[in-house]
Amino acid sequence: MDSNGGNAVAQTDAPARSYEVRTFGCQMNVHDSERLSGLLEDAGYVKAKPDATPDLLVFNTCAVRENADNKLYGTLGHLAPVKLGRPGMQIAVGGCLAQKDRDTVVRKAPWVDVVFGTHNIGSLPVLLERARHNEEAQVEILESLKAFPSTLPAKRESAYAGWVSISVGCNNTCTFCIVPALRGKEVDRRPGDVLAEVGALVEQGVLEVTLLGQNVNSYGVNFVDADQPRDRGAFAQLLRAAGRIDGLERIRFTSPHPAEFTDDVIEAMAETPAVCPQLHMPLQSGSDRVLKAMRRSYRKERFLGIIDKVRAAMPHASITTDIIVGFPGETEEDFLETLDVVRRARFTSAYTFQYSKRPGTPAAELPDQLPKAVVQERYERLIALQDAISLELNEALIGTEVELLVADGAGKKNAATARMSGRARDGRLVHFRPGDNAGIRPGDVITVDITAAAPHHLIADGVVKSHRRTAAGDAHERGVTPKTAPIGVGLGLPSIGAPAPVAAAVDGCSTGCSA
């Protein structure tokens, strides 16, 4: 049986087995979990009810940080007696940590039934069946991608917002990062397939799409042949083409790389109304010396120059970043350079991390690994500076009107405060009081005035100024989320016509974006 043929699992008259997918890590993992859910439901599984012990528990793992290993193995340890008391229960481990640890998972947790990697998520249903039949663990780790994940069905988590991968893998060699070793070299989807998936989501009511890639702005690296150089405008063209899909109100993307961020992308963002005025631009360090040691192929002034250009084109754009504190050999002077960039760039927010030594990365072997106390002290100074900047920027929005796409589960204190939550077009989280508008649902669109601010969110406690009910809100109210069928059969070169549902969206789109 073909290990990628999830739909080929034999069906029986037995009650449907329930499943739960638990996701650790980045947005790419979240989207992969949607594919896993789609595969399992096509194979006859049903999603387990909240707080119920499922017949199948799938862990989609991350390996970026050291505590990911501890978290997984600790959780698996707690599940051993649960599985012993539930005959027939299965446990599967996939994702980046599975790709890295391979046979180690079964050695440390022999009650795990299936281990699969980042390149063969489509194998899961067949591996589960094989594990049941053979009564032994099945481990299948492929070294390279055989088919793009979009060739698998996906059961989406949200009625109003969707992830769409435009590429997988990464061609960079950052010394702190293990992702290229686990996800492989960059492979790009054909533009027509990307647009077809976006169109399929919009047809089912989705208002917002986030384009995903380890390095989205290098999109088009595979669109080459012997006589044609890489089309460096492919990502900008893709943004413009997606913006022409009728009904798509918001487009976001993550994450670009500063070294390859070009002016045409800034122009496409500014000139395409559906593209949100938001940019996540990973800095990692403000020290040129540390950036060189990280193999980040840009320098401080290049990074700040991009920020200046984005703000010139979109003065109210929200710019966020990633920063690593305590990279091996980082001096106090290096750290002060990072603080200088933070002051000058004035990020809306920053995802800050203490350097985590990852076996298998070049940085793990570097001398001058910093003491935990030094890293912690610098980390706290960075957090204090960024929080102060975030609060100042957010307070400047008090009294302004914002449009929100109402979100589900975005406010942990909403039940106590009688608020709901939504995302502004620039990505900021806003908690608001619905007041007499009891019919507001996740997926609807409202406008409110900002009345208060905190470093990580805004508050709108005044009246809701407008409320637009949407098909996404209708779907959420019914408990229905989109399910997208497999899209595309190939990788790389855009050699065939765009699928019919979005053919009009790609008119006028040249080389890199003409599927």
Which residues define the annotated binding site for [4Fe-4S] cluster? 26, 62, 96, 170, 174, 177
Spatial contact of 149 and 35, defined as CB atoms under 8 Å apart: yes
Q: Using alpha carbons, select from 143, 41, 40, 168 the residue that is nearest to residue 92.
A: 40
Token digits of residue 478:
């019914």
Three-state SS at 7? helix
Spatial contact of 347 and 319, defined as CB atoms under 8 Å apart: yes
Spatial contact of 431 and 457, defined as CB atoms under 8 Å apart: yes
Token digits of residue 105:
């998972």
Q: Which uninterrupted H or E stretch holds 159?
A: none
- Say how far apart CA 357 and CA 424 lie, in whole Å: 36
Three-state SS at 300? helix
What stretches of 435-480 adopt beta strand conformation (E)?
Answer: 445-449, 452-454, 457-460, 466-468
Other CB atoms closer than 10 Å to residue 206's CB: what's the count? 30
| Residues in binding site | 26, 62, 96, 170, 174, 177
Q: Using alpha carbons, select from 168, 218, 141, 188 the residue that is nearest to residue 27.
A: 168
Instruction: Return the amino acid letter for 125.
Output: P
Spatial contact of 191 and 514, defined as CB atoms under 8 Å apart: yes
